A = this chain, B = another copy of it.
Amino acid sequence: MRPSGRKPDQMRDVSFERGYSKHAEGSCLVRFGDTHVLCTASLEERVPPWLRNAGRGWVTAEYGMLPRATGERMRREASAGKQSGRTQEIQRLIGRSLRAITDLEALGERQISIDCDVIQADGGTRTASITGAWIALYDCLKWMEKRQMVKAEKVLKDHVAAISCGIFLNQSVLDLDYAEDSSAETDANFVMTGVGGIVEIQGTAEGAPFSQDEFQAMLDLAKAGISNLVELQKQTIG
């Protein structure tokens, strides 16, 4: 039995609150149950130095957690003076995931900076971030389209969404919450596109190594889950 009473293949309630931020070109407060992440997309008319005059743009991401997003207060990274390895790992993953479905030439020489800030955490903050960031990116591109800067559909080649799976009490389960995540034997994150292509797979044995069959079971759960998330994204953008 899962602590939340969910079935093994049951995701938490997922919702997207578009336009959460007054200022950002695109924004979305995404909720995976009690995990709440504010995703904003900021258009900047510049590219990183190594991309200058290369005829294409860039999508990058930063990730943060409010100090008391978690059960115990964590040290504020700005006050500690650096981002943790975990933070850097996650923000690199978000950026890669979004670039995988973006046509950077069609974007033109501009940068879109995605900020994913965890307001409240209950497991799965990186997968919620990627899934919500897609909405923010979409809305940013629509904002640009209104100003004749790009064709949103040309830049955004597909959907992208992400979900975690794990082996909890010897069973493969979908969308771990914190109670499961902190005691799961194995934790895996999957990032896939709307047409089912795999963008990223990360599977980690926290305790005992896992078998190929177990991995296959998680992959199957993830495919179904991501398919649902993409459907929700489609409903959200109408």
Across the interface, name the chain B residue whose C-beta is closest to A202.
Answer: B202
Is A192 touching B209 in the complex (CB atoms < 8 A)?
Answer: yes
Is B68 touching A44 in the complex (CB atoms < 8 A)?
Answer: no
Which residues of chain B have C-beta atoms less than 8 A from A69's C-beta? 21, 23
Is A85 touching B82 in the complex (CB atoms < 8 A)?
Answer: no
Is B66 touching A117 in the complex (CB atoms < 8 A)?
Answer: yes
A147 contacts the other chain (CB 8 A)? no
Which residues of chain B have C-beta atoms less than 8 A from A83's C-beta? 78-79
A38 contacts the other chain (CB 8 A)? yes
Kindly state the interface size class of chain A when it binds its partner.
35 or more
Apart from A42-B67, A200-B205, list 19 A-B contacts with CB within 8 A: A21-B68, A22-B120, A24-B68, A24-B73, A62-B67, A67-B115, A78-B78, A79-B83, A85-B89, A119-B119, A188-B201, A197-B205, A197-B208, A197-B210, A198-B203, A198-B211, A199-B209, A201-B201, A202-B202
